[in-house]
Amino acid sequence: MLRIDIISVQPQMFRGFLEESIVARAVKKGACEVNVVDLRDFGEGKWKKVDDKPYGGGPGMLMKCGPWFEAVESCRPDAATRVIMTSPAGKTFTQRDAETFAGLAPLPSPDHLIFLCGHYEGFDARIETLATDRYSIGDFVMTGGELAAAAMVDAIVRLLPGVLGGGPAATASETFGRDGGGLEAPQYTHPPEFRGMKVPEILLSGDHRKIEAWRKAEARRLTEANRPDLLPS
């Protein structure tokens, strides 16, 4: 079973995420275990300090080494644990990474992930020595790493066996999925006509070969229009 530890100075931010989401369902089904560790428990002195001024000057505060090293050690990482630092300066997290961490890629999958959620101006650079990976969720800067960690954990956990109905095939044909990696074709449900907008005739035809061909062509059209960078070169 995959164990996920998330270290944060704002553990309460994960309350809804862990109680209401697909992650809650996955935990209930025994697909994974998710623990949130309060960095403040490892804070220094009477005020449980986790941050300090940067050497050399500059705005804001940096997260201190001591609390981070102790918090990570409290999660008992072993040689196979992936310690993921959230950072706008990291590699952009993709569906391929979610598949690797969920054990869908051919690479050996880890059974323990630790997410480090930064705050303030970020981490003292020495904290990076704790990390095996540094991931960003996009080219923008947020106040803290909690939303980034939640986004990555959600993307990983929904791929774990037994979490979604439909098995691995359900996610293979999605946007960025393992079947081609482009965008998903448009989808429709009842009613067949809504405010003058009709479901494409082909989807009502029952001809599965033609429907499959239509979906492939639509997926290609959307990918060319919105994300040409995803097309094979």
Ligand X SMILES: C[S@@+](CC[C@H](N)C(=O)[O-])C[C@H]1O[C@@H](n2cnc3c(N)ncnc32)[C@H](O)[C@@H]1O
**Interface ranges with ligand X (CB under 6 A):** 86-89, 117-119, 121-123, 136-138, 140-145, 148
Cβ atoms of 151 and 137 within 8 Å: the answer is: yes
Q: How far is CA 182 from CA 88, 187, 189, in A?
A: 25, 15, 22
Nearest approach in angstroms of CB 85 to ligand X is 7
Core vs surface per residue 153-185: b (16+ CB within 10 A) or e: bebbbbbbeebbeeeeeebeeebbbbebbbbbb
Residue 98 beta carbon to ligand X: minimum distance, rounded to whole angstroms: 15
CB-nearer residue toward ligand X: 121 or 218: 121
For ligand X, give the closer residue by CB, 119 or 223: 119
Is residue 138 within 8 A of residue 90, CB to CB? The reply is no
Which single residue brings its beta carbon nearest to ligand X?
118
Task: Kindly state the smallest distance separating residue 49's Cβ from ligand X, in Å.
Answer: 17
For the CB of residue 130, give the shortest distance to ligand X in the complex, in Å.
13
Strands (E), 94-214: 112-116, 133-136, 193-194, 197-198
How far apart are the C-alpha atoms of 184 and 215, rounded to whole Å? 8
Residue 186: CB minimum distance to ligand X, A:
29
Where do the DSSP E strands lie in the chain?
A: 2-8, 32-38, 51-52, 62-63, 82-92, 112-116, 133-136, 193-194, 197-198
Residue number, 24 or 142, with CB nearest to ligand X: 142
Provide, rounded to whole angstroms, the least separation between the CB of residue 112 and ligand X: 20
* 27/37 with CB nearer ligand X: 37
Q: Which is nearer to ligand X, 118 or 182 (CB)?
A: 118
